[in-house]
Structure 1
Amino acid sequence: MSAAGRPSAPTRAPALKILLVEDDRQLSSILLRALAEEGHAVDLVEDGGLALTRCLRIGYDVVLLDWMLPSIDGLSVCRALRAAGSTVAILMLTARTEVQERIAGLDAGADDFLPKPFDLDELLARVRTLGRRCRSARYLEAGAMRIDRLRRVAMMGGELLDLTPREFLLLQLLVSDAGRVVTRADILQKVWTPTTGGGVVEVNVKNLRTKLGEHEWRVETVRGIGYRWRDTE
């Protein structure tokens, strides 16, 4: 990895909140300094299990994820994050260069893949690209509803909704398909599992409507099929 002879820095992109998951302390020190110089806020962890916990609790923009880690490897961390519904941008860093292993990383849910050793400027450019991509896809809006996918919070008419993780995923699914019917089967598939009892959907829809208060009418029941998010009464 070389930073020598670097050209003038491009116009600085908006600062990102980044989680660096790397157990090579010499490399992590270089990356921490370079990312800080770009204006980013960076947290460092050296363990896959801790990385998973942090990502599910804190709203990061980008995760730089090493493949070979103590406790839980990067590939498993990536899979677990996607299974939990996380949409954080993930750039996997690894000494594994075989095509099949790159494919495995992308299939696990990584957004990009950078083999070691890498050029520092290339890594910073990829971080900027992922940052632009996640910013553009971060917010979901429908009428008075605004969902922040990264922070995993939702606001209705400027008021923050107190939602459980499953209620948030249910709301996000309905709002992303606003005006169209989302079947119970689709809800079970994307929020729970296909084998989960259907009653859990009704219970969570009821709870979601309660938390929406005067906006409960927005979650419309389409009898015998599923539910639809409405923007107008």
Structure 2
Amino acid sequence: MSTKILLLEDDLLFGESIADLLEEEGFEVHFCRNGQEALDATYASHFDLYLLDINVPLIDGLSLLRELRRANDTTPAIYLTSHQETGVLSEAFEIGAEDYLKKPFDTQELIVRTHALLRRSKGTSRRCAGDLCIDERHKCVMMGDKEIPFTLKEYQLMVLFIQNVGEIVTKEMIMDALWSPSEMISEGAVRVYINRLKQEIGSERIVNIRGVGYRLVP
């Protein structure tokens, strides 16, 4: 399985040169020129690394990563930015970035940091509860050696359960993890996703705590 990198950069020539460099290293690169395109790409595919510019159209790089982290997306991220302000760089790390490079940067340094971050992330990409495991690197759920074909929101819900295995996951926690505050969500929508998980992993594994929420049985 090839290593997939999402590159967000609004400068076409610079972005293409970075994409070519990474592809020569054997990476599969998805090049986006605005934040909305990048966000849509994360819904459609799983990535191993995000390389993000900050000042891009539609959704800036900081807002993009903030939205992804809020949705339990733990894919490692490196900012490629011309910003020099300490406050901006501090915010990038607070949101959840692992590294940054200030433009202009040495392309070989980018390759070195990319390989180093991917090596570190491989060791911490899987969490398990019994035979149920979430692979955060590839954004998938495994039951034993079988991958369960979950959608992004189903995967996010499974992440929430495994992070809180044996504990009550309230309906409010589920709504916060799966939807943005501006979306109107009913408890019926929550039940739809719960039932979908039960169909795939077994109804006995998710216990309904009446009036409160649900619990994943260890």
What is the CA–CA distance in structure 2 between the aligned matches of 1:18 and 1:113, rounded to whole Å? 15
Q: CA deviation at 1:143?
A: 2.3
Q: 1:229 to 1:126 in 2, by over 3 A?
A: same
Asked if 1:53 corresponds to 2:40, the answer is yes
1:204: Cα distance to partner?
A: 3.2
- The match for 1:27 is 14
Q: CA deviation at 1:182?
A: 3.1
Aligned residue identity for 2:106: D
* 1:165 maps to which of 146, 152, 166: 152
Give me the TM-score of the superposition, normalised by structure 2. Answer: 0.80
User: Which residues of 2 match residues 1-233 of structure 1 at below 5 A?
Assistant: 16-192=3-179, 198=187, 200-212=189-201, 215-223=202-210, 225-231=212-218
In 1, distance between residues paired with 2:93 and 2:161? Answer: 27
- For the Cα contact (< 8 Å) 2:79–2:97, is it kept in 1? yes
Q: Which runs of 5+ in 2 are unaligned?
A: none
Q: SS of the residue aligned with 2:109? A: helix
1:82-123 deviations in Å (ceiling 9; x for gaps):
334322222111111110111222233323222112222322
Shift of 1:59: 0.9
Q: Which one has a bigger Cα radius of gyration?
A: 1
Q: Quickly say closer, same or farther: Cα 1:43–1:162, change in 2 above 3 A.
A: closer
- Report the Cα distance in structure 2 between the residues aligned to 1:71 and 1:222, rounded to whole angstroms: 41
Aligned partners of 2:192 and 2:11: how far apart in 1?
Answer: 47
Q: Secondary structure in 2 aligned to 1:137? A: coil
Structure 1: gaps (5+ residues): 1-13
Q: Does the 8 Å CA contact 2:126/2:136 hold for their aligned counterparts?
A: yes
Report the TM-score when normalising by structure 1. Answer: 0.76
Which one is further off, 89-98 or 189-198? Answer: 189-198
Shift of 1:180: 3.3
* Shift in Å, 1:18: 1.0
What is the percent sequence identity of the aligned residues? Answer: 34
